[in-house]
């Protein structure tokens, strides 16, 4: 069976001191499958875009800032995710500098600066807690992960670097 995932981006904007990360608290849309959870910024890649252009567009649409220094940290293949059991291929980035003033609110909900050390205490997808340490660690190598989902729960987490 051919693999035809939804291609998406997920970006983590760091504060100037690199101790905090900009997160969206998904509370704005009543029927949002992510409702109540904290997440990085990003979304679906559009036809005619490469993944970095898609990320930069999403960061601007959601936070009102222009991402300047963007680094690919990893890719994740999520299968069976969400109410439609979709397959996603996600490109995970870290943004270490940006231009402009961060909006206080995005179309999905309020934007909040959260200490990186406190991320695990937030309501988020259970699977995020597996890959977030790889996003923020000092290892310069890109990771490539696989995380199949069933009933909103990750069944497994494997990755290579």
DSSP class of 2: -
User: What residues does each domain of the chain span?
Assistant: 6-160
Q: Please count the other Cβ atoms lying within 10 Å of the Cβ belonging to residue 107.
A: 10
pLDDT of 112 higher than 80: yes
Encoding tokens for residue 78? 């999520």
How far apart are the C-alpha atoms of 79 and 101, rounded to whole Å?
A: 36
Q: What is the mean pLDDT of residues 33-57?
A: 93
Q: What is the mean pLDDT of residues 127-156?
A: 96
Q: What is the pLDDT of residue 34?
A: 76
**Class of the CATH domain delimited by 6-160:** alpha beta
How far apart are the C-alpha atoms of 95 and 114, rounded to whole Å?
A: 15
Three-state DSSP class for residue 53: helix
Whether the CA torsion 148, 61, 13, 140 is positive or negative: it is positive
| Residue 32 pLDDT class (50, 70, 90 cuts) | low
| Residue 31 pLDDT class (50, 70, 90 cuts) | confident
Q: What is the mean pLDDT of residues 57-61?
A: 98
């Amino acid at each position: 069976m051919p693999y035809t995932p939804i291609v998406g981006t997920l970006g983590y904007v760091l504060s100037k001191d690199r101790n905090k990360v900009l997160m969206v608290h998904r509370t704005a849309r009543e029927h949002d499958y992510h409702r109540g959870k904290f997440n990085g910024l990003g979304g679906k890649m559009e036809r005619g875009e490469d993944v970095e252009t898609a990320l930069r567009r999403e960061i601007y649409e959601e936070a009102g800032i222009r991402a300047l220094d963007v680094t690919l940290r990893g890719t994740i293949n999520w299968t069976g995710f969400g109410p439609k059991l979709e397959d996603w291929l996600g490109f995970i980035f870290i943004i270490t500098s940006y231009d402009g003033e961060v909006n206080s609110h995005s179309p999905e909900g309020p934007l909040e600066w959260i200490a990186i050390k406190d991320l695990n205490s937030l309501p988020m997808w259970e699977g995020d807690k597996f890959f977030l340490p790889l996003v923020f660690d000092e290892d310069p190598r890109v990771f490539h992960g696989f995380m199949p989902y069933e009933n909103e729960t990750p069944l497994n987490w494997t990755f290579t670097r």
